[in-house]
Amino acid sequence: MALRSGTLRRKQLSMTSLIDVIFLLLLFFMLSSTFTRFAEIPLTGANAGQGASAPEIPPLFMRLSENGVELNGQDYTLSNVIEQIDTIAPPKGQQLVVAPRDAVTSQRLVDLLVVLAARPDLSVVVLE
């Protein structure tokens, strides 16, 4: 049995398939990522024991459900709730307490907060 003596030559690697894979990964990550800036909604949570002094203006109470909005016991839709707040509330210094029901999604709450952002002088407090 004769042994082969000599130098072994290595095969050269083809870079074509590696470049294709890198291009596909780059394309995938570019198409799956988002470059938009998310909006920020200021949110104040209600805390126990904030003070004993009574406010000069009584706060408005809003109950948010999956189908509508109840403002001080009256049923409204999201589209006309800001108009009703304008008729009830004074122009400055009004506090609005929002109590979402159990079945309300976070998207529904964000939709309400976006509608209420049209009135920047309104202080919105969300109950847990």
Mean confidence (pLDDT) of the chain: 79
Alpha helical stretches, state H, the chain: 16-32, 81-88, 106-116
Report d(CA 71, CA 64) in Å as an integer: 9
- The 10s digit of each residue's pLDDT in 46-76 is 566 555 455 577 888 889 888 888 888 888 8
Q: In this predicted structure, what is the pLDDT of residue 104?
A: 86
Q: In this predicted structure, what is the pLDDT of residue 114?
A: 85
Q: In this predicted structure, what is the pLDDT of residue 27?
A: 93
19, burial (CB in 10 Å: exposed 0-12, middle 13-18, buried 19+): exposed
- Residue 76 makes CB contacts below 8 A (sequence gap 6+) with 68, 69, 70, 84
Q: Which residues pair with 100 in a beta bridge?
A: 64
- The 10s digit of each residue's pLDDT in 86-98 is 787 666 777 888 8
| Closest C-alpha among 64, 54, 56 to residue 115 | 64
Report d(CA 111, CA 28) in Å as an integer: 32
Report d(CA 128, CA 117) in Å as an integer: 20
* pTM value surpassing 0.85: no
